[in-house]
Amino acid sequence: MTDSDPAEALGLYVHVPFCARACPYCDFDFEVLRQTESETGALAPRVSAWLEGLEAERDERWAGELAGRRVDTLYLGGGTPSAIGVAGLERLFAWVESRFALRLAALDEVTVELNPEHLDAALLARLVDAGVSRVSLGVQSLAASGLRELGRVHAREQALACVRRAHGAGLGTSADLMLGWRGQTPAGLRREIDALLEAGAGHLSIYALTIEEDTPWPGLVARGQRELPDDDVQAELLQVAEGHLAARGFRHYEVASYAAPGGAEAIHNGKYWRWRDVVALGPSAVSVRHGLVEGRGVVARRMNPRGLERWLSGAAPEYERLEGESAAAEGLWLGLRRLEGVDVAAFSRRFGLPRSWVEARVARQVGLGNLEWVGDPPAARLRVAPGRWLVHDTIAVDLL
Ligand code: SF4
């Protein structure tokens, strides 16, 4: 495979597989970390083992591939990166800077996912000193009933104080909100959004609560302690959120993402929608590379084993390789997550297929009014039609 342009910078993702406790709806890859440090002040053995695993993964698998590639974004996701505490994050920052030969402060974006109960003054100061530019806060809800339903441990005021503190320190501040928990109302959702905006959130990520079978939630439903989310209620809440944020000048720039007026879009996350390469380390982390073979697009993914123990023990990653039309169809679908749409000329360069292929592939969805063409070649774009972004997932049926 011809590699992507070596001048094109990579995104770096590190999966932090620890949480302070388990939320009943979550199917991410994590284990509960009871303490971040041992009694002697050393890092907890599981955190040390994970850091050693990162070192081994970087040495064994990525040195060759990384050679000559510049990294311009870092995203620490999880799990809950803040669960490893200040000492754990400091070790991680130092390791990234030394092993990837970069300075965090010089990157285009460094995002750390945090839970509100963890962001105290000491952690905030360390994040700023280290060169972190953006935090993504797992707020999920500000309502006492929502926090209880979702099994979150923070309180409303704690979350808002956290947004204020991060924003006040000059960090890009994004908050996650979850929609569709039992008892949530449109009026309550508007109040949650207003409170977050007033506290200084410059970016919101808004998701419908989805329940996977292998989480505790179905068991709670069986015992009458939770309900499964209702699709229609969630669709209404998603539209309420969009309307309310639009009225406050927020740009709905991606299916689940909103940016404040003049505020920044997520750069690292944007790499997935713009078909950029990402190197991902840690359990369950997924790396992606793009290239061309005889003029046809190729997308190669490496999916690390799930579970800290399996990853540490050297279980083999899984590989996926999409070529030609399958790579292009997936690329089109991912690109359509951005509401500005897909630049069809850039798409053709990346995937080696002409506009006529795109036209044929999307004809039915254009006919249904779900997708629309904007502008003329060579600047033509294809986008989800205004007001139709809720059907993004169903568009996949035709595209993929
Ligand atoms: S804190 Fe986040 S990653 Fe951890 S269990 Fe809860 S939702 Fe999942």
CATH (domain of 376): 1.10.10
Within a domain: 277: no
244 and 150 in one domain? yes
Render pLDDT for 35-82 as a digit per residue (tens, 0 to 9): 766 556 688 999 999 999 999 999 877 777 777 789 999 999 999 999
Q: What's the pLDDT score for residue 398?
A: 83
Q: How many domains does the chain have?
A: 2
Q: How confident is the model at residue 6 (pLDDT cuts 50, 70, 90)?
A: low
228 and 347 housed in the same domain: no
Q: What is the pLDDT of residue 187?
A: 98
Q: Give 391's DSSP letter.
A: G
Please tell me if the CB atom of residue 25 comes closer than 6 angstroms to any atom of ligand 1: no
Boundary (domain end) residue, out of 253, 269, 285: 269
Residues 119 and 16 in one domain: yes
Orientation angle between helical segments 231-247 and 186-199, nearest 10 degrees: 40
Q: Is residue 3 included in any domain, yes or no?
A: no
Ligand 1 atom 3, closest CA? 79
State phi, psi for 356 to the nearest 5 degrees: -60, -35
| Same domain assignment for residues 339 and 248 | no
Nearest Cα residue to 138 out of 114, 111, 162: 114
Residue 242: which domain range?
10-269
In a domain, 105, yes or no: yes
User: Are 115 and 82 a contacting pair, CB within 8 Å?
Assistant: yes
25, 30, 211: residue to mutate for ligand 1 pocket, most atoms within 8 A of CB: 30
Residue with tokens 């302070």: 20
Q: And the tokens for 400?
A: 């993929």
Pairwise pLDDT comparison (165 vs 39), residue with the higher score: 165
Res 1 pLDDT > 50: no
Pocket test for ligand 1, best of 16, 23, 177 (most atoms within 8 A of CB): 23
Report, in angstroms and rounded to the nearest whole number, the Rg of the chain calculated over CA atoms: 21
Are 242 and 212 a contacting pair, CB within 8 Å? no
Write the DSSP string, 246-281.
HHTT-EEEETTEEE-TTPPPPHHHHHHHTT--EEEE
In angstroms, the CA 63 to CA 222 distance is: 49
What's the gap in Å between 110 CA and the centre of ligand 1? 20
Cα separations in angstroms, 188 against 23, 43, 197, 213: 22, 41, 14, 28
The answer to the question of residue 342 being in a domain is yes
- The answer to pTM > 0.85 is yes
User: What stretch of H or E contains 75?
Assistant: strand 71-78
Q: Are residues 135 and 222 in the same domain?
A: yes
> Which DSSP state fits 305?
P
